[in-house]
């Protein structure tokens, strides 16, 4: 297994780097690199720039706008985007529901939804978790009852990321309560502007409403919005989660944040020395860097396997666990590096900080990353999955 980049791969990386340096708006780059909050307009603006270049959905089939890049090129592309400080192409449309539609959807669904996902005409959110169904997702209770050419949906979803901006939601709903719980679930595409839908924000520790509760009260959904077969949604949900978990590792972003941590820790302290000159703190940073290097090698192994036609198995869970642990450890060391300056949390500076005040919102950044080990299937559940798939227990 050769984990080194070829000359062609390096040339591809240089091409991507040059284009990003020339086309990434400076205000968006500054927001990302300085940990400022991004607005809906920020995400949409960058998505449309990438769509115009033909790079908003690299993994899609070419006939639907994909790039036909190799897995290695896709990895390099993600690395270069992280290095440059681009806003993220939000995964809910491009990387989550789109693969399900491509694999299991009807031709009519592909023709209607895929172009609108590609250029961010529609903003998507995910309707999986419920107040009583998170890690045990199959126990969900949101009900969809078939009445003629429509489903009537009642229930509640929670922790729905950025639902306040969404035009569409892909939802797991129970269509048959009489069978084994995994066998009575269907996959519906629901217009968020439908009568009967209420979105209520959940204010988190970083004083943001990134996640929401979504309530369905007799919401009418055309039967044509059912993806695949009725009661086969659990199969489609597992397919989607494999795509989600592999992408959560975010090695490129963590490498960028590690350099940020080193810069902050290298600043001169009140006594004249920098924190990086403290052997104990330097050891913590070194340990984390080793973990990140090991994670990157694992990602490259997965990329190499994909290049030979092998899809991710338990590796998806492994990348999710280790990737989120590294991300959380980075934010912990950032707070340790700035010391007492981590105490104040100025929400107004988090929105639009002035020059020289980057560190004032790192507490909010830390709080936000507490959730990474939970979403996409909690890390504890991922460890169970790895045990079952690798050890057969």
Q: Please tell me which residue in 80, 130, 210, 244 is annotated as part of the active site.
A: 244
* CA–CA separation, 335 and 328 (whole Å): 11
Please, is 356 exposed, middle or buried when counting C-beta atoms within 10 Å of its C-beta (0-12, 13-18, 19+)? exposed
Token pair 């795509």 is found at 243
Quick one: which H or E segment has residue 40? helix 40-53
Helix axes 315-338, 251-265, angle to 10 degrees: 20
Percentages helix, strand, coil for the chain, rounded to the nearest 5? 55, 15, 30
CA dihedral of 158, 164, 168, 170, whole degrees rounded to 10: -20
**332 belongs to the catalytic site:** no
* CA–CA separation, 24 and 29 (whole Å): 7
Assigned token pair, 226: 């059912």
Is 379 within 8 Å of 320 (Cβ atoms)?
A: yes
Quick one: which H or E segment has residue 122? none
Q: Max Cα separation, the chain?
A: 75
Active-site residue numbers? Answer: 244
């Amino acid at each position: 297994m050769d984990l080194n980049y070829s000359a062609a791969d390096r040339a591809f990386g240089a091409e991507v780097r040059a284009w990003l340096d020339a086309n990434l708006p400076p205000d968006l780059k500054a927001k990302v690199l300085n940990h400022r909050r991004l607005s809906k307009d920020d995400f949409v603006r960058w998505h449309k720039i990438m769509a115009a270049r033909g790079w908003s959905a690299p993994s899609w089939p070419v006939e639907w706008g994909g790039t036909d890049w190799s897995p290695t090129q896709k990895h390099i592309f993600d690395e270069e985007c992280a290095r440059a400080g681009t806003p993220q192409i939000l995964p809910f449309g491009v990387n989550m529901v789109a693969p399900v539609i491509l694999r299991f959807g009807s031709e009519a669904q592909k023709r209607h939804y895929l172009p609108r996902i590609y250029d961010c005409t529609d903003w998507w959110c995910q309707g999986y978790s419920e107040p009583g169904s998170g890690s045990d997702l199959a126990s969900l209770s949101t009900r969809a009852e078939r009445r003629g050419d429509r489903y009537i949906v009642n229930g509640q979803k929670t922790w729905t990321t950025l639902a306040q901006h969404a035009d569409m939601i892909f939802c797991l709903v129970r269509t048959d309560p009489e069978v084994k719980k995994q066998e009575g679930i269907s996959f519906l595409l629901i217009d968020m502007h439908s009568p009967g839908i209420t979105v209520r924000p959940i204010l988190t520790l970083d004083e943001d409403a990134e996640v929401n509760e979504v309530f369905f009260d007799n919401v009418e959904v055309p039967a044509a919005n059912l993806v695949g077969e009725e009661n086969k949604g659990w199969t489609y949900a597992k397919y989607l989660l494999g795509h989600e978990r592999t992408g959560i590792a975010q090695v490129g972003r963590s490498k960028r944040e590690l350099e940020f941590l080193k810069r902050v820790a290298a600043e001169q302290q009140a006594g004249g020395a920098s924190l990086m000159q403290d052997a104990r703190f330097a050891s913590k940073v070194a340990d984390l860097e080793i973990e990140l290097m090991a994670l990157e090698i694992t990602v490259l192994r997965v990329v190499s396997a994909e290049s030979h036609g092998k899809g991710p198995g338990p590796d998806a869970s492994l990348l999710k666990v280790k990737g989120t642990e590294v991300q959380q450890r980075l934010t912990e060391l950032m707070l340790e590096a700035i010391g007492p300056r981590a105490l104040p949390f100025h929400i107004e500076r988090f929105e639009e900080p002035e020059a020289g005040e980057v560190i004032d919102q790192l507490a909010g950044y830390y709080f936000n990353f507490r959730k990474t080990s939970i979403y996409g299937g909690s890390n504890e559940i991922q460890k169970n999955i790895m045990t079952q798939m690798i050890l057969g227990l």
